Structure formats: structure tokens, C-alpha cells
Structure 1
Amino acid sequence: MTGGHLTQEQIRPMIAAERTELADLLAGLPEAAWDSPTLCAGWRVREVVSHMTMAYRYSMLRVVFGIAKAGGNFNRMADRAARKDAAELTSGQLVASLRENVDHPWKPPGGGYEGALSHDVIHGLDITTALGLDRTVPADRLRVVLGDLSTKNLKYFGTDLHGVELRATDLDFAIGSGTPVTGHAQDILLTLCGRKLPHDRLLGEQAPRFTQRFNGKD
């Protein structure tokens, strides 16, 4: 399955819808939930939303300066920025930043609008999956994001599919070769992105390779 070539006019409404839906969901979270861990290792909900909205709040010059201070390491800069902003901005301010920028034209370098949608979908799932919230990303968006993945992405995330086929049960998508591990498409997506899922999200003999105890639950 591939996402197919989409025009700007086709994909930007998906991005706006994803951001709007996530802003609505975040606005309804109890304040204590903002300090809950997510699937992004070491980041609470606050840090994830701070990271998601960084591009709306930071100028290119500020990003370049931050990368330079981080020794040229973008991930280190992004982590520092997320932690700093999470400590300084309220949950209401973070939600407002997301809601006010649903139509923002940001694209990750070299990633296009498909990359922007992937960024929002994956980080949104980092939050909702960890919190156990019942949110399903629409199939058309998942098709784009799964179709946008490449071998380079898997290497970046350190995903090892040796001897395993990951297979979605709700979309026509499979990747890898070997013992089947099945789950909903959005859980397969998170697995491909190196996230460790709650144990009941995947099925198959090799599923424990990709799952963990989460929030003290088996």
C-alpha cells in the first residue's frame, strides 16, 4: 500500500483536520494528564505538544542558533526546546498554539506536506495511545503516513523487522517477511516508528518484541 501522490489541495485539509481534532482532544484533558508519560521516551504530554508546536513559535534563525548551541545535533536541540517550553507554557497556551496554527504551512525539511501530516499523526498517537484514549486516526490519513515511510525512516527509528511481518488488520498494509505480528494500522505505524506499545495492542508470537509494560499495567 502506498499513500499515492497527493496534491497540496488534497493533503493540507487532512493536516488541518488532524490538528483541529487533536486540539479539541487536548483541551478536554484533565490538567493532571498533561504530566503523564507518552510513547516518546522521557517526554510527558507537555513536552510532546511543545515539540509539535515548536515550528509555529520558533523562527528559522532561532532554530539554527539552537542547533548550533546543541553541537549541530537537531534532536538534542529539539529535546531542550521541548523541555524548556513545557516548563514555561501552560496547557492552555499549548492548546491555543496548536489550534491557531491548524493551517500553518510548516513542512519538515525534505518531508513535504506528507511529512507534516506524519509528524502530527505520529505524535498525536504518542499521546493518545499512552493515555489509553479511544481515538482512531481516519484511514485516509493513515494511508498517507504509512505510504510515506521508507527504509530510511526505519533506520532512523532503529526498527528491527528481522524475521517478522507487521500486518494491519484494518487496512491493506503489510511490511517485512516472517512471523506475522498483527494490529490496527495506527499501532503498526507506531511500531514502525520504534515505539513500544502496551502489550494488548499487537498479536502474534513475536509481538512481545514490540510491546512493554506501560504505566504499571501488564
Structure 2
Amino acid sequence: MSYRGMLIRERAELVELLRGLSEQEWETPSLCAGWRVRDVVGHLLQDTLGPLSYAAVVVKNGGSVNRINNALAQSSSDLSTDQLVDKLDKESGRLSRFAPRLMLSDLVVHHQDIRRPLNRPRTIAPDRLAAVLSYPDPFAFPGRFTKGLRFTATDIDWTSGAGPEVRGPGEAIALAMAGRPVALDDLTGDGVPELRRRLG
């Protein structure tokens, strides 16, 4: 399946989840420091922007990844939860036309940033999981966590890197690559102590 096809399916699964959340769940802290579930969804609305609009946000925030992400999350703070979901469902797909691999990696990880604190586990489609593991979001700077380690997924046929091994479910590896310490409890191997140190 194409990256755009995987994006469409991933987004549809997230929209289905969001439509069933209570107002309290929308206010739940996500895995992203300082962001509630609704803030994560606000950030994901970056895919409703075209390249020029996104570039304007980048320039306004001096190219800082953290400032850009926070600005995107806050730009929709006045929307209701229903409006957030409708925009994600019906208006997304503009920016991802130009960077589908990047947007898929971002979407899958943020989907889990929402699901894990809500205790809403799922099985990620193997093709999507392999795609994210093979191309982690570069704006999460995965190299600082993965360099010199070998990662092996135990639920799909995927491995990468060289060095002390880190083994576990592909979802947990993807989260660790994106800097989420919560994933460490699902991982085993000689490389885990070093990964834990890096995730700090």
C-alpha cells in the first residue's frame, strides 16, 4: 500500500477513536510533555495546511521545532472537540501530499501518544508499523536514541542497526525512537540500559 493510503487508514482509525472520547478524556495528558489529548490533535491539524502556510509558521517561529509544534497545537485552541475531529477527518491531506512518509511517522506516533495514556491499546497494521520503523520522524531526532544499537521487532519482520540489542514490539520501538520513555518497560536486551540513559 502507498504511504498516502496508509495515512488515510491511520487517520481514519484515529478519528474513530476521537469521536468516542469523553470530554474528560480530551483533557487527559498525552505522552507529549505539556500537551493534553486535544493539544496533540491540534498539532495534527498541520496536515490541513498547504506548504506555503506551513512555511509561514516555520519562519514566524524561527525554525525551532518545539516552537513550531507548540504554535500549531495552540492555533486550534478555540475549537471544540467536535470541530477538531471534523477538521482532522475532512480537511487533512494537504501537507502530507508533499511529505507522506514524514506525516505517516508523525501520525502513528501521536496516535499512540493519545492511546497509551487513555489505556486504549490497538494492533497497528504491520505495513504501517514497518514504514514508521524504517523512517522515524526526523524532527524527533531519532539518531540520538538509536545510534550504536541494534533494534529487533518481535511482532513483525524488522531489524535495524548494529550493537547491543533492543528487542520488543514494533510499537514500543517506534515510541522509543521518538523519545518516549514509557516504551522502555516493553523492551528487553543488552541495549536497553543505554537506551534508558539516552531517554533520560
* Superposition TM-score tier, normalisation by shorter sequence: 0.7 to 0.9
Structure 1 position 166, deviation (Å): 2.3
Q: Distance in 2 between matches of 1:61 and 1:177?
A: 39
Q: Distance in 2 between matches of 1:52 and 1:187?
A: 21
1:107 match: secondary structure? helix
**Contact residue 18 and residue 121 of structure 1 kept, 8 A:** yes
- Could you give the per-residue CA deviations for residues 56-100 of structure 1, whole angstroms, max 9, x where no partner exists? 1x4555434433332343531331231242x31111111111111
**Contact residue 197 and residue 210 of structure 1 kept, 8 A:** no
Q: 1 or 2, which has the higher helix percentage?
A: 2
Gaps of 5+ in 2: none
Q: Name the residue aligned to 2:135.
A: 148
**Contact residue 18 and residue 120 of structure 1 kept, 8 A:** yes
Q: Distance in 2 between matches of 1:158 and 1:73?
A: 18
Answering whether residue 174 of structure 2 is matched by residue 182 of structure 1, we say no
**Contact residue 152 and residue 158 of structure 2 kept, 8 A:** yes
Q: Name the residue aligned to 2:85.
A: 95
Q: Distance in 2 between matches of 1:41 and 1:195?
A: 10
Answering whether residue 123 of structure 2 is matched by residue 136 of structure 1, we say yes
Q: Percent identity?
A: 35
Structure 1 position 21, deviation (Å): 0.8
2:6 match: secondary structure? helix
Gaps of 5+ in 1: 1-5, 212-218
Number of matched residues? 197
More RCO (CA 8 Å, sep 6+): 1
Q: Name the residue aligned to 1:78.
A: 69
**Contact residue 166 and residue 174 of structure 1 kept, 8 A:** yes
**Contact residue 26 and residue 37 of structure 2 kept, 8 A:** yes
**Contact residue 66 and residue 77 of structure 1 kept, 8 A:** yes
TM-score by length of 2: 0.82
Q: CA-atom RMSD, angstroms?
A: 2.8
Q: Distance in 1 between matches of 2:43 and 2:113?
A: 12
